[in-house]
Structure 1
Amino acid sequence: MIRRAVMLLTAILAAVLAVPGVVSAAPDDIVKVAIVRTSEQNGGRADTLPQIAQRNLGDRARATEILDLNRARPQRDGGALTDSGEVRPGWILLLPDDAEGPDVQLGRVNSDTTGGSDSLLTGQVVAAVAGAVILALLSLLVIFRRRIGRGVRDRYRAYRDNARWHQQIQERMRARAELAAEFAADQRRPALARQASVELAADTVEAYALRVDEHTVTAWVTADHQPRQPWHAETDVVWTRPATATASPPSGGGAVAPCLVRVGGEDGTLFVDLTWLDGVLAIRGSAGVAIDVVANLLADLTRFRPDLPVLSVPGLGGEPPGLPRNAVRLRSVGELRIDAPASGTDDGMVRLAARRRSLTSLAVIAEMPSPEEAEHLLAACGPGTGQIAIVLGDLPGARWRWNAEADGKVRLPEIGLTVTAPSR
């Protein structure tokens, strides 16, 4: 540490000794000046007093100070600055003492500043100052070489990590776009999911989510009894069967028709049954990904359940994307009707409290409602009303709450799965 201090003092002493002209000169002789730029030096534009003031004083309005210092001072080309403020390339202009900018240089002028002599940049002073600066920089480089090396390595690692992150984002966006195209063209997996849901419902087994891949159908169920062939119980609430297998024909019996929509893909396509929502779904986290999820759900409703009425409450960014053409536009959450809930509804955990209900309508809320609106929304879309809602935002009291991540992932805590959402 002492060695570094000695080297730094040596550098400072060398810098002082290198500028004798500055030390010995009278304060009135050494001034700060700037040379008016050519248009090539100024990005193709003619230089002006406001630009010079902005660069060297940090305030365009201080151009008047430069004008006062240089009014009528003769320049080498025979011209002089007038009240018009017009300057010519190559003119040397005096600057206020606090000037600190890219054009600031030290100069020496004669004591008779109003005479006909030119203001001159002192080459010796400039060279001495440049030498002092170089010496100081070299000394600092020796003293802080390790710290500078670490800084360079850290910046390189940050650049490399940033490039890798951008590459991952691009790959993720391509994967989400491919998933969106796959969803638009896929007819097989929605049919398999609906068939499996109807099969289970006919056997008094209700599935609130299904995942379909190339070989297997997986169902998250509420039944507490053993499955029948071709279903196999992986756990108490997760059943599977081969995608090509079929159970006995459904017997009907007034079961609630499923309302399946796709959330995303990850080791298969994940479907959720909105008849199980029986309340409000809040999609929180990344707003862009949440909007993509809602747009995809609405596209599936338009495709598979065009009979379900959709109500829309726009937000500051407008209405949610993907709304059906026949969607009903509401001005506020307060316009949602409040019907008496069906008997037998209760509170508690999602799978215990929720019940499959025939849906009467779906409301899509494009932004977080106010506390008063939230209270009205939860009452209008409460258990047993048949009216459900999807809210973009983290709504307290929502029955289901999904988490949308910035990388396009969507986490469903109710079933412990994370999927990739297709992009719009």
Structure 2
Amino acid sequence: MIRRLLLLLATTLLAALSVPTAAAAAPDDVVKVAVVRTPEQNGGRPDTLDQIAQRTLGDPGRAGEILDLNRDRPQSDGGALTDSGEVHPGWILKLPDDAAGPDVRLGRVTSGSAPAADKPYFTWKLVLALVGAVILALVTVLVVFRRRIVRWALDRYRTSAENKRLRRQIQQQGRLRARLNADFAADQAGPELAWRAATDLDADRVEAYALRTSERDVTAWVTADHDARAPWRAESDGVWTRPAGASGSDLSGGSVVPCLVRVGGDGEGSLFVDLTWLDGVLAITGSPGVAGDVMSALLADLARFRPDLPVLSVPGLGGEPTGVPSGATRVRSIGDLRTAGPGAGADDGMVRLAARRRSLTALIVIADAPSTEEAEHLLAACGPDSGQVAVVLGDVPGAHWRWVTDVDGSVRVPSIDVTVTAPAR
């Protein structure tokens, strides 16, 4: 549309600018003329109309005819013949058709009362014509392309409004994320409640791979097909809840020590996952900044609740993620990790209910997405008998879990179809 508008305006301007050329007077036909002699050419005397009439018409009395043909016609020196009859050397004078003689020549002379060079090119009429042409072109464009123009203006308005809404949302989420970070650092009751609920379920041979705690209740995503027993209540298939104040088992119970870490929070409470169910690799994808915050919060929970779990760190091009413990073991590359057999090989992003829960011997932190060859080696290093699990900033083919982050700070956990807000580091 813009190209068509510019083309139309350019055409209109060219048409307007061509008006003076089209309106200019065409030159006269070929006529007979005589050139006024200089005194040197005229025997030392100034040339006169009578003499010119005598030389070209044979009768000095016809000088008046030459005067009538040339009165007020502009000459090359800026002068013009007047009723005084005075002429200047070099002037070109039109002659009657019957003129003859050696001084008679044929030529084209233009008519007019003023030299063309003295006429201004841009007159008020021309300026008004140009302004009118532009206004006409704009009105024509508005009429012809009104629907497209309106649609374009509405799209720009909606895009601007949507950008403003997203900026406000990100700012609000930023404040919420900062508050979550402070709340997580000060919270003692939430993690203890999650651990007691996990060990309570484990004592009944019901294993939970994710829990959400709030001041009111605890929600557990369970793996076994059991009937919920009091104080637990089945909300849906595989999702149980119980009041937050219900008694729980001793934290030392259970065959496998849980490894609970927080993903984030929402209006329903804080979401924990148990890494003993990771069974391979967790890939945190999406927004790099938010993914880094999720990794930092995860490592902070490990240092707080499982300080006994060794951490292996594989730095990337930008170094290590924030929050890697100072006592972590640095590994130069993924290829240096020990392997214990083939990797798990799943790529659906969901929890495999047939996966075997296992005690963890180490957590591997990977700062960058691995290559295909590195991914195969990483899956083998985190195989079923290795006791190792890995958390990667970036996608990994074959990852058991995938958490998807967004620039507004949200984290989607597909395995339980829940989206929470990540704390900001």
TM range (shorter): 0.5 to 0.7
Q: 1:188 to 1:250 in 2, by over 3 A?
A: closer
Q: Partner residue of 1:329?
A: 330
CA contact (8 A) 1:282 1:401 kept: yes
Q: Does 1:204 align with 2:205?
A: yes
Quote the residue 1:234 is aligned against: 235
CA RMSD, Structure 1 to Structure 2 (Å): 3.3
Whether the 8 Å CA contact 1:258–1:273 is kept in 2: the answer is yes
State the alpha-carbon separation in 2 of the partners of residues 10 and 330 from structure 1.
70
C-alpha distance in 2 between matches for 1:222 and 1:231 = 15
Q: Rate the CA distance shift 1:183–1:251 in 2: closer, same or farther, 3 A.
A: closer
Say if 2:258 is the partner of 1:258: yes
> In the alignment, does 2:174 pair up with 1:173?
yes
**Structure 2 residue aligned with 1:62:** none
Q: Kindly name which structure, 1 or 2, has the bigger radius of gyration based on alpha carbons.
A: 2
Partner of 1:414: 415
Q: TM-score, normalised by structure 1?
A: 0.67
1:359/1:387 contact within 8 Å kept: yes
Aligned CA distance change for structure 1 residues 15 and 221 (closer, same or farther; 3 Å): same
**Which digits, 9 at most, give the CA deviation of each residue in 1:15-72, with x for residues without a partner?**
2256659x99xxxxxxxxxxxxxxxxxxxxxxxxxxxxxxxxxxxxxxxxxxxxxxxx
Which residue does the alignment assign to 1:404?
A: 405
- Contact 1:208–1:220 at 8 Å: present in 2 too? yes
In structure 2, what is the Cα distance between the partners aligned to 1:186 and 1:357? 27
Question: Aligned ranges for residues 159-198 of structure 1 at < 5 Å?
Answer: 159-198=160-199
Post-superposition offset of 1:184: 1.5
Evaluate the alpha carbon distance shift between residue 161 and residue 216 of structure 1 in structure 2; reply closer, same or farther with a 3 A threshold: same
- Which residue does the alignment assign to 1:309? 310
Q: Comparing 170-179 with 215-224, which one deviates more in the overlay?
A: 170-179
User: Following the alignment from structure 1 to structure 2, what is the Cα–Cα distance between the partners of residues 352 and 8?
Assistant: 69
The percentage of counterpart residues that share the same residue type is 60
Q: Separation in 2 of the partners of 1:365 and 1:141?
A: 60
TM-fit CA distance, 1:419 = 1.2
Tell me the TM-score normalized by structure 2: 0.67
In structure 2, how many angstroms separate the alpha carbons of the residues matched to 1:322 and 1:132? 72
State the 1:135 CA deviation. Answer: 3.6
2:135 aligns with one of 138, 145, 148:
138
Structure 2 partner of 1:293: 294
Compared with structure 1, are the counterparts of its residues 136 and 159 closer, same or farther at alpha carbon in structure 2 (3 Å cutoff)? farther
In structure 1, C-alpha distance between the alignment counterparts of 2:273 and 2:123, rounded to whole Å: 75
Rounded to whole Å, the distance in 1 between the matches of 2:127 and 2:386 is 81
Secondary structure at the aligned position of 1:196 is classed as helix
Match runs of 1:80-91 below 5 Å: none
Q: Distance in 1 between matches of 2:381 and 2:203?
A: 30
Q: How does 1:337-376 map to 2 (within 5 A)?
A: 337-339=338-340, 350-376=351-377
Partners of 2:9 and 2:342 lie apart in 1 by 81
User: In 2 relative to 1, CA 236–384 (structure 1 residues): closer, same or farther, beyond 3 Å?
Assistant: farther
For residues 103-142 of structure 1, what are the structure 2 equivalents within 5 Å? 134-142=131-139
Query: 2:13–2:134: 8 Å Cα contact kept in structure 1?
Result: no
**Whole-Å separation in 2 of the counterparts to 1:130 and 1:187:** 81
Counterpart CA distance in 2 for 1:129 and 1:206 is: 89
- Contact 1:16 1:132 (8 Å CA) reproduced: no
Distance 1:129 1:331 in 2: 78
Q: Is the CA contact (8 Å cut-off) linking 1:341 and 1:385 kept in structure 2? A: no
- Mapped partners of 2:282, 2:222: distance in 1: 19
In the alignment, the residues of structure 1 paired with residue 188 and residue 233 of structure 2 have an alpha-carbon distance, to the nearest angstrom, of: 25
**Unmatched runs of 5 consecutive residues or more in structure 2:** 26-118
Give the match's secondary structure for 1:284.
Answer: strand
User: Once the two structures are superposed, what CA deviation does each residue of 1:257-314 show, in whole Å capped at 9, x if it has no partner?
Assistant: 1110000112211000011112111112222221111111011111111111111111
Q: How many residues align structurally? A: 319
| Structure-2 change in CA distance of 1:153 and 1:319 (3 Å) | same
Kept after mapping to 2: 8 A contact 1:308/1:361: yes
CA offsets 1:110-142 (integer angstroms, 9 cap, x no match)? xxxxxxxxxxxx995598987666344312221
Distance 1:16 1:369, change over 3 A: same
2:262 match: secondary structure: strand
- Answering whether residue 275 of structure 2 is matched by residue 274 of structure 1, we say yes
Distance 1:352 1:15, change over 3 A: same
